[in-house]
Amino acid sequence: MQTAEVVIVGGGIVGSSIAYHLTAAGCKDVLVLERESHQGKGSTGKSMGGVRAQFATPVNIQMSLYSIPFYATFDDRLGYPAGYRPQGYLFLATEDKHLAYLRANQAKQRALGLKCVEMIDAQHIRMMFPQLYSDDVIGGSFCATDGFVDPYSAMTGFMTWASEHGAHLLKGTAVTGVVLDKEGIAGVETSRGPIATRVVVNAAGAWAAALGCMAGVDIPVKPVKRMLVPTEPFAEFPHTAPMIIDMSNGFHFRPESLGFLLAWNEPEERVGFNTDFEPEFIENILTRAAARVPCFENLAVNPKKAWAGLYEVTPDHHSILGPVDEVKGFFVANGFSGHGVMHAPATGKILSDLILTGKTSIIDPKVLRLGRFAAGEIIHETAVL
């Protein structure tokens, strides 16, 4: 029977980062199981790739304060590219309550060590981007170290480095059961046969709840469809622009290749595993795009290039990280609610620390533990895109 010190279920960017951090910390017997024939077919390959520290809760800010500097040094550290572009995030406020919200968030961000976040006035925003419709804009918030990464490249870099240093990746391998004994985790059953291990990490993304059930654990993660629309090449708006977020309706966009990538989270959540793109979404998003950026009236979009992916959403839009108290040896890294790519470096470090030493300095692990839901200690993130 095959054995491993740690088995990670899920080979997306989160599982790959955990494999990297474990291996870098000296754990040589790490096995990653990916059910697909290629990595990145889940949420990783369909992500918008944004990274930001402009969050509303301390724990998310702390995770970004580890992750973004990690991405900034990724290429040198691992010898592979992550595609980090620090072009910033610009939040556009159109109401006084938006400004008050951004100021309150910035107070938390600065207190935790984020230095380059700033409030900017409407005049400055008009000077930066005269192409924006800004009659209703009264100010905003900008952080220069926010930006974008290439999720697929970062995932590949994590896993390739880990594999070169002793970790193993098995693709086309589905987990069909979790084996328990009186001590806790004893192994997993897979489509390629059993694997004995005392540590299993659930990094199964939107499918986290199903894997939890195999271990007798309720993981409150549901899959929610999100759609993204890339445009054809477009030169009438600068490609040096940050991610720009219209706080009046949640529409946001960023440069992508020679065009732009458009996003908007519809108020009605589409829960389920259906990732078919809905063509009518294009008109909905282009209407909002042209309202904020009038020259976007001329945007060309090929519906065949648009796509839908899955957010893995928890009741409080925060991830679930760490050991499961009821099942010794079972660890979870789930429920990122759209922030899995940006927080993958911190997640890898936190899980590696907790598996190998039982403690971590990145965050207070109690905050994101699975047991917070039963204990009524949920924490709400309001800065969700």
Which CATH number is 304's domain given? 3.30.9.10
Q: Please identify, among 287, 313, 339, the residue that sits at the C-terminal boundary of a domain.
A: 313
Encode pLDDT of 106-157 as tens digits. 999 999 999 999 999 999 999 999 999 999 999 999 999 999 999 999 999 9
Q: Residue 116: count other Cβ atoms within 10 Å of its Cβ.
A: 14
Residues 140 and 237 in one domain: yes
Q: Please identify, among 282, 313, 344, the residue that sits at the C-terminal boundary of a domain.
A: 313
Query: What is residue 261's predicted lDDT score, i.e. its pLDDT?
Result: 98
Mean pLDDT of 198-218: 98
Residues 131 and 231 in one domain: yes
Residues 171 and 296 in one domain: no
Beta bridge partners of 178: 188
Residue 99 resides in a domain: yes
Residues 115 and 135 in one domain: yes
Mean pLDDT of the residues in the chain? 96
| 3-state SS assignment for residue 223 | strand
The count of structural domains within the chain is 2
Whether residue 206 contacts residue 297, with contact meaning beta carbons closer than 8 Å, is answered with no
Residue 293 resides in a domain: yes
Which residues, including other chains, have CB under 8 Å from residue 49's CB and lie 6 or more apart?
83, 148, 149, 150, 151, 341
Residues 39 and 96 in one domain: no
Query: What is residue 385's predicted lDDT score, i.e. its pLDDT?
Result: 66
Residue 76 resides in a domain: no
- Of 28, 42, 31, the C-alpha closest to 9 is 31
Residues 138 and 230 in one domain: yes
Q: Residue 118: count other Cβ atoms within 10 Å of its Cβ.
A: 13
Taking the C-alpha atoms of residue 268 and residue 257, their distance in angstroms, rounded to an integer, is 30
Structure tokens belonging to residue 297 = 């009236």
Residue 62 resides in a domain: no
Structure tokens belonging to residue 75 = 């290429």
Residue 41's pLDDT band, with cuts at 50, 70 and 90, is confident
Residues 227 and 359 in one domain: no
- What does pTM read for this prediction? 0.97
Residue 277 resides in a domain: yes
Residues 278 and 252 in one domain: yes
Which CATH number is 175's domain given? 3.50.50.60
Residue 2: burial class (beta carbons within 10 Å; 0-12, 13-18, 19+): middle
Q: Are strands 89-93 and 193-196 parallel, antiparallel or unpaired?
A: unpaired
Spell out the alpha helix ranges (H) of the chain.
Answer: 13-24, 58-72, 74-78, 96-111, 122-128, 151-164, 208-214, 280-292, 344-356
| 3-state SS assignment for residue 372 | helix
Residues 304 and 284 in one domain: yes
Q: Position of tokens 């897979």?
A: 190
Residue 137 resides in a domain: yes
Residue 358: burial class (beta carbons within 10 Å; 0-12, 13-18, 19+): exposed
Residue 79 resides in a domain: no
Q: Please identify, among 313, 347, 380, the residue that sits at the C-terminal boundary of a domain.
A: 313
Mean pLDDT of 360-378: 96
Residues 27 and 121 in one domain: no
SS3 assignment for 227-245 = EEEECCCCCCCCCCCCEEE
Residues 139 and 228 in one domain: yes
Which residues, including other chains, have CB under 8 Å from residue 325's CB and lie 6 or more apart?
369, 370, 371
Segments forming the whole domain that contains residue 181: 2-49+151-220+315-372
Q: Are strands 89-93 and 139-143 parallel, antiparallel or unpaired?
A: antiparallel
Residue 81 resides in a domain: no
Query: What is residue 380's predicted lDDT score, i.e. its pLDDT?
Result: 80
Structure tokens belonging to residue 327 = 């099942």
Residues 302 and 159 in one domain: no
Percent of the chain with pLDDT over 70: 99
Encode pLDDT of 237-281 as tens digits. 999 999 999 999 999 999 999 999 999 988 787 899 999 999 999
Residue 243: burial class (beta carbons within 10 Å; 0-12, 13-18, 19+): buried
What values do phi and psi take at 226, rounded to 5?
A: -130, 140
